[in-house]
A and B are shown apart, each in its own frame.
Chain A
């Protein structure tokens, strides 16, 4: 890769080879809502209802919340954490 020839920027994205498990984890996090919502037979039913909402409706909204949390987590894993780590590395002079 061009990693050695170009200086490592604080903003350079994390590559798959750098952290394969982080990549696998974020992929699972990104895919979860897709799989859950496309699997329609698993939630196309009226009961149990919650606060007057049939299961079908509140379950969709539950995945809205789960997915938002997953998006936040994936951003932290893939972007924010590596950036913080690099910033720390730069301060203490530790090469990455």
Chain B
């Protein structure tokens, strides 16, 4: 693609701004020292309502959202695209119920990761290792996908066109080295601060896009009718070849189960991801996140309009088989160069915030639940922070090598699998917040079987053009309907955990371990009567 100088200039200026912010963030709410995981990895555990809103929004709605969701809408319509809107509505009631309990118990016992909680609750470093391992495994491709997002934008801007090898990838490498550097020095404060710029850019770009583009195209009625025509054309072509229709504007009978289970399974999985938990534990009070569930759906509304960009692309006649380029190509076609540059910057900066938080979350997991547990029992807080900083570099460069070395399709496949995998920690984390009736060994057994089942089942999904990992929907044994295979695996997981628990209670009643938490621990809040509702803690170390 041709190099767009104006767009590139705007892009570089905005990118430079957030890089400076990233380094300055180390001074924000400056603690006495950044040398503990509470400070480096959780930003001091004192973020109030506003910061939490920006941080969680910036955390959960990733560059991949801007790239994959419009791409899925463009390629296949409602079932694989719009379900993302349904699931990001359904996630808030789940957060409302679960997350205050997790915040309280983590606050009381100083837990930094979800695996820390599982270790204390079930008295099992093995189960904690399982949760930590799953978290890191699911995060790696997710971080890689943020890079794929940046790559798509650079490609549409025409950067690296014509050159080959290392020069072609140089812009991506530079962007990532900068990200790695300020995450290293500033910890969670860097993405928290950049999230403000990111969200401002995203809101501006999407607000303009959803008003300006439909005006140019003749209104939403025109867009939807063009998509409807498109769907019928594709369906007729598929019917001639005796294949199922590839595109649906409205889910048909056969897709009801798929749509509902994809939405429910994804909603249940979202806050099992370690980076979501990091965002929650960084908030200052028990109910900060709960109050935020009324305001966070604003991001879901944004996502809905981002999804519709895929339909706008159909109406505006954009033709590409590389679906991840759909949103940037639409910006390129519809906006003047300078504003397209703002749009590209929004997507790329949108990738940096989650990539930073994810690498911090993965680093926390490694440090707390692998390094300290199995290598250095006596690791001091300072040593833990140092290991986590180094680990955040390893994770990021691992993801970079992954994207540069392998086909990007692999990253997308593995990301789909990541959702299936992380959902298998739901019994240990989410159910564990309410009861420890399930036995630690039974939980490990259920997890192991479900991981194998989910991975094999996903591997076997094929279409005429894609040999493996073609879909995350598969026929459910005994039910005869197609459904999200992550949720099917979770049901299998739970059955094994329940049966295993019943058996273990009979044959080995003393093996359940000792709960290190008490029922009241799940209800505690920061005790400072003077602070207003949900204001960040008036910890003198954090003021200013």
Interface residues of A (CB under 8 A from B): 2, 6, 9-13, 30-31, 33-34, 37-41, 44-46, 49, 51-54, 56-57, 60-61, 63-65, 67-72, 74-75, 79-80, 83
Contact = CB atoms under 8 A, between A and B. Distances in A.
Contacts of B15: none
B106 to A, nearest CB: 16
Contacts of A31: 93
A71 B90 contact: no
A80 to B, nearest CB: 7
Interface string B275-287: 0000000000111
Given A38-B263, A38-B264, 19 more contacts: A11-B285, A11-B286, A11-B287, A12-B525, A30-B96, A33-B92, A34-B93, A34-B264, A37-B263, A40-B251, A40-B259, A44-B250, A44-B251, A49-B224, A52-B219, A54-B224, A61-B85, A64-B301, A67-B93
B290 A33 contact: no
Contact of B523 (A12, A44, A60, A67): A12
A89 B290 CA distance: 24
A61 to B, nearest CB: 6
B298 to A, nearest CB: 8
Contacts of B100: 13
Interface string B287-305: 1001101110110110010
A43 to B, nearest CB: 9
A71 B289 CA distance: 11
A2 to B, nearest CB: 6
B249 A67 contact: no
Contacts of B92: 33, 67-68, 71
Nearest to B526: A11
Contact of A11 (B253, B300, B304, B527): B527
B5 interface: no
Rank and list the top 6 A-B pairs by shortest CB-CB distance, nearest first.
A52-B221, A52-B220, A72-B294, A11-B525, A30-B93, A71-B294
Contacts of A83: 533
Q: How large is the interface on B (under 10, 10 to 19, 20 to 34, 35 or more residues)?
A: 35 or more
A64 B259 CA distance: 17
Contact of A52 (B96, B222, B526): B222
A13 B220 contact: no
B82 A60 contact: yes
Interface in B39-79: 78
The binding surface of chain A is classed by DSSP as helix
B525 A30 contact: no
Nearest to A72: B294
B209 to A, nearest CB: 16
A52 B523 CA distance: 47
A90 B89 CA distance: 38
A74 B264 contact: no
A30 B89 contact: no
Contacts of A70: 93
Nearest to A61: B304
B210 interface: no
B223 interface: yes
| Highest count of chain B CB atoms <10 Å: which of A38, A69, A70 | A38
Contacts of A6: 520
A49 B259 CA distance: 21
A64 B300 contact: yes
Nearest to B87: A37
30 contacts: A2-B520, A10-B529, A12-B523, A12-B525, A13-B286, A34-B93, A37-B86, A37-B89, A37-B260, A38-B260, A38-B264, A41-B256, A44-B256, A44-B259, A49-B221, A52-B222, A52-B224, A53-B224, A56-B249, A60-B82, A61-B85, A61-B301, A70-B93, A71-B93, A72-B294, A75-B96, A75-B290, A79-B287, A80-B533, A83-B533
Contacts of B293: 71, 75
| Highest count of chain B CB atoms <10 Å: which of A57, A67, A70, A79 | A57
B370 to A, nearest CB: 34
Contacts of B221: 49, 51-52
Contacts of A72: 294
B97 interface: yes
Contacts of B250: 44-46, 54, 56
A91 to B, nearest CB: 12
A63 B249 CA distance: 19
A81 to B, nearest CB: 12
Contacts of A40: 251, 256, 259-260
A21 B525 CA distance: 23
Given A38-B263, A40-B251, A51 B89 contact: no
Contacts of A49: 221, 224
Given A30-B93, A37-B263, A68 B251 contact: no
Nearest to B290: A75
